[in-house]
A and B are shown apart, each in its own frame.
Chain A
Amino acid sequence: DAGVIQSPRHEVTEMGQEVTLRCKPISGHNSLFWYRQTMMRGLELLIYFNNNVPIDDSGMPEDRFSAKMPNASFSTLKIQPSEPRDSAVYFCASSLPSGSSLGDTQYFGPGTRLTVL
């Protein structure tokens, strides 16, 4: 049973380049979350979707960041242009509907380690 899938696992890019991170949630999960983890700031929620609709994007750092969820099985997080301070591990997580008995557990992907030079 596949968990949350993220790609790439590692990304090294140069400042100014566009970066696209990808996530495939667990089948049947209707909520999807993007987090960023750094030593300085810990785990930060960037944005989350319910039924492919963005619900709260208040954690998105600035206009350089954008996220989409075109369908229930795919989401992207894009950074354009990237900056060295964007270097972090980016996690995607998914969960079942909040009303279900298991809907209160988030399942995390393995993360994408982004390095911007």
Chain B
Amino acid sequence: GNSVTQMEGPVTLSEEAFLTINCTYTATGYPSLFWYVQYPGEGLQLLLKATKADDKGSNKGFEATYRKETTSFHLEKGSVQVSDSAVYFCALRRTGNQFYFGTGTSLTVIP
């Protein structure tokens, strides 16, 4: 079946530290892959996406590369800010419009 596994949180980093949040997926064929971010008290917002192998999605300094050989889509940022504190969700879309979300990883950035 289709599923997404992402690293357990919570993650706590100091400002300007390097961030990696691991995400691996299981799917048949060629899914589209996404990272969503949820700030406190808000709904999920699309952060970035990639629709085919080797594509790199990027936004607001965050990047993730679609790796088919390792079925991974790890989220990275070179220098986190306090404002990046949020919950991050990895997701895939297979056929149709149904999404499969990971369990979310909470990130706290301290000054």
- Per-position binary interface string of chain B over residues 54-97, scored 1 when its CB falls under 8 Å from any chain A CB and 0 otherwise: 00000000000000000000000000000000000100010111
- Per-position binary interface string of chain A over residues 87-107, scored 1 when its CB falls under 8 Å from any chain B CB and 0 otherwise: 000010101001000011111
If the complex has contacts A43-B89, A110-B42, A110-B43, are A105 and B49 also in contact, measured as CB distance less than 8 A?
A: yes
- Per-position binary interface string of chain B over residues 37-56, scored 1 when its CB falls under 8 Å from any chain A CB and 0 otherwise: 00000111110010100000
B36: shortest Cβ distance to chain A, in Å?
8
A43: shortest Cβ distance to chain B, in Å?
5
B101–A43 touching, CB < 8 Å: yes
Cβ < 8 Å to B, chain A residues 16-55: 31, 33, 42-43, 45, 48, 50, 55
Interface residues of A (CB under 8 A from B): 4, 31, 33, 42-43, 45, 48, 50, 55-56, 91, 93, 95, 98, 103-111
Interface residues of B (CB under 8 A from A): 32, 34, 36, 42-46, 49, 51, 89, 93, 95-99, 101, 103-104
